[in-house]
């Protein structure tokens, strides 16, 4: 097992997800329902499923596009989204 990759992935996703709208939705849903373990289970399953879809999509995409090009496209996409958010267009 590649522990460095596992821990890097965990840390990256953990930090990225802190305080985002998904976490806020979990807080509100758990508070409203008063069933935190059911909310946790549903949220965990949703995150695992979306992560699986992302990994599978990347696996297929990498057969056609090099990882270096994917990194550059992702970087540009994040900058564009940031600019759109900054100017209130997104």
Q: Could you report the per-residue pLDDT of 16-69, keeping only the tens digit for each?
A: 888 888 889 999 999 999 999 999 999 999 999 999 999 999 899 989 999 899
Q: CB 32: neighbour CB atoms within 10 A?
A: 9
Q: What is the 3-state secondary structure (H, E, C) of 65-84?
A: CCHHHHHHHHHHHHHHHHHH
Secondary element (H or E) of residue 54: helix 36-61
Supply the pLDDT for residue 67.
Answer: 87
pTM of the shown model: 0.69
Residue 63: strand, helix, or coil: coil
pLDDT of 90 above 80: no
Supply the pLDDT for residue 17.
Answer: 84
Q: CB 39: neighbour CB atoms within 10 A?
A: 19
């Amino acid at each position: 097992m590649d522990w460095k990759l596992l821990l890097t992935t965990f840390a990256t996703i953990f930090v990225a997800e802190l305080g985002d709208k998904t976490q806020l939705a979990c807080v509100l849903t758990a508070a409203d329902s008063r069933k935190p373990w059911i909310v946790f289970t549903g949220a965990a399953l949703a995150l695992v499923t979306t992560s699986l879809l992302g990994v599978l999509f990347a696996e297929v995409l990498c057969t056609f596009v090099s990882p270096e090009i994917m990194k550059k496209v992702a970087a540009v996409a994040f900058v564009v989204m940031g600019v759109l958010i900054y100017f209130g267009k997104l």
